[in-house]
Structure 1
Amino acid sequence: MLVSALALGFLGSLHCLGMCGPIAFMLPLDRESKAKKIAQLFIYHSGRLLAYASIGVLFGFLGKGLSLFGMQQKLSIGMGVLMILLVLVPTKIFDAHKLSRPIYTLLGKIKSKLGKELQKKTPDAFLTIGFLNGFLPCGLVYMALLGAIALGNAWQGGLYMMLFGVGTIPLMTTAAYSSSILSTPMKSKVRRLIPVFVVLIGALFIIRGMGLGIPYVSPKPMNAHMESTNIECHQP
């Protein structure tokens, strides 16, 4: 399941370039010193990973709370179904109910703070830019958060989101060097693949929640395993 976070981050990073690409391109990097430029990019990405890991821990903890009520398997199925629905249901439905208004309010505040930090060149500024960048509203981040919730563990949720962030590093680093990444036909092809991949991840979480007894993919529920063990122990 954790590998899916890396893949989602890598494929989804092309989609995220529309939001985060300009920020990466406008980073006040040192263009004269290659070593300093690499260090600045490292600090920037560290800030993003810290943000993703933090919200991953938070949502993983939420998933753990739900799991304590014996909902681990149902939670995984529910998050998988929700992932698929968010891909299939038109976004206009959400806009019609003005559910996106708080997101745009948050986006305005983050952009304002980012604008100030982009004027600086200190190490802490790069860390702050990366951290704020990690909180920018993004549909792919929301999908990854559903995965973090479904894992039902705070630390696994944090790791899932951090790996998602690691997957975005290659293209985001390229964006910092060049504003034009890949050809337009290639971009549209990859973007068409993203919804398909999200549906596959959703299906994977559904299979995981079904407890089919497939190692690492769909393990049996713990209580079912204990019951089968007890039956074997009582057999003459």
Structure 2
Amino acid sequence: MLVSAFLLGLLGSFHCVGMCGPIAFMLPVDRKNSLKKVSQIAIYHLGRLLSYSILGLIFGLVGKSLSLFGFQQQLSIGIGILMILVVLIPQKTFTNYNFSKPIYKLISKVKSALGSALKKKTADTFLTIGFLNGFLPCGLVYMAVFAAVASGNALSGSLYMTVFGLGTIPLMTTAIYFSHFLKGTARQKIQKAIPVFVIFIGALFILRGLGLGIPYLSPAPIFDMISGDIECH
């Protein structure tokens, strides 16, 4: 599943560039010192990874609390179905209902803090910008968060989100250096492929939840394995 996290981040970063690209373009990096510029960009990415890992930790704990009640398989199936529905349901359905209203004030504060950070050039600026950037609303991040919930524990959820963040680094770094590289039909084609890949990941979660006894892909429920061992003896 970690491979799916990296690929979701890698392909999804074409969407991320559209959403967070302006922030990357506005990073107050040192244009004269290339070595310093690289370190500043690395710190920016570190901040994003930190926020993603925290999100994964939080939602992984949510998944763990549900798995304690024996809902982990059902949760995996439910998350998979939800990921597929989000892709298939027309986008205007979500725009007609502003689901972010309850946290709108919090998002506004994040944006305000981000704007203030972009005006500074201190050592901690890039870490702050990256950290705040990671908490901005993003459809692809929501998909990764769904997967973190389905992971069933805090460590796995945090790791999933971190690997997702690592997948976004190549293209987000390219956006900082070569903004013109991200234009054209290639970007449009990859953006069209993202929903297909999200559906594929959703199908994997459904398959995992079914517990068909396929190693690594759809392992049998732990109770079945225990009862099987008892029968063998």
| Shorter-chain TM-score tier | over 0.9
2:57 and 2:158 in contact (8 A); partners too? yes
Amino acid at match of 1:181: F
CA–CA separation in structure 2 for the residues paired with 1:225 and 1:71: 17
Report if the CA contact (8 A) 1:48-1:130 is conserved. Answer: yes
1:132 Cα deviation after fit:
0.3
Query: What's the C-alpha RMSD, in Å, of the aligned pairs?
Result: 1.2
Q: Deviations over 1:147-201 (max 9, x none)?
A: 0000101000000000000000001111111322333211110010000000000
Contact 1:5–1:144 (CA under 8 A) maintained in structure 2: yes
Provide the TM-score with structure 1 as the length reference: 0.95
Query: Does 2:65 match 1:53?
Result: no
Please say if residues 22 and 179 of structure 1, whose CA atoms lie closer than 8 Å, have aligned partners that are also in contact: no
Does structure 2 conserve the Cα–Cα contact (< 8 Å) formed by 1:24 and 1:176? yes
Partner of 2:184: 184
Work out the CA distance in 1 between the residues paired with 2:94 and 2:183: 31
Question: Is the deviation greater in 33-42 or in 103-112?
Answer: 103-112
Taking the aligned partners of 2:53 and 2:81, their CA distance within structure 1 comes to: 24
Provide the C-alpha distance between the structure 2 equivalents of 1:163 and 1:153, rounded to a whole number of angstroms. Answer: 16
Between the aligned partners of 2:92 and 2:183, the Cα distance in structure 1 is 29
Query: In the alignment, what sits opposite 2:129?
Result: 129
Gaps of 5+ in 1: none
- TM-fit CA distance, 1:212: 1.0
* Map of 1:224 onto structure 2: 224
In the TM superposition, 1:1-236 aligns within 5 A as: 1-102=1-102, 104-233=104-233
Q: How many residue pairs align between the two structures? A: 233
Taking the aligned partners of 1:95 and 1:38, their CA distance within structure 2 comes to 38
1:28 to partner: Cα distance:
0.4
- Residue 113 of structure 1 and its aligned partner are, at CA, apart by 1.2
Query: Deviations along 1:3-40, whole A, 9 cap, x unmatched?
Result: 10000000000011111111011100011111111110
Offset at residue 102 of structure 1 (A)? 4.0
Question: Which consecutive unaligned segments of at least 5 residues does structure 2 have?
Answer: none
Contact 1:25 1:178 survives alignment (8 Å): no
Question: For residues 146 and 218 of structure 1, do their structure 2 counterparts lie closer, same or farther at Cα, with a shift above 3 Å needed?
Answer: same
| 1:94 and 1:100 in contact (8 A); partners too | no
Identical counterparts, % of pairs: 61
Q: 3-state SS of the aligned residue for 1:212?
A: coil
What is the alpha-carbon distance in structure 2 between the residues aligned to residue 43 and residue 83 of structure 1?
Answer: 31
Deviation of the 1:104 alpha carbon? 5.0
Identify if the C-alpha distance between structure 1 residues 139 and 103 changes in structure 2 by more than 3 Å, giving closer, same or farther.
farther
CA gap of 1:27–1:130, structure 2 versus 1, over 3 A, is: same
Contact 2:175 2:182 in 1 (8 A): no
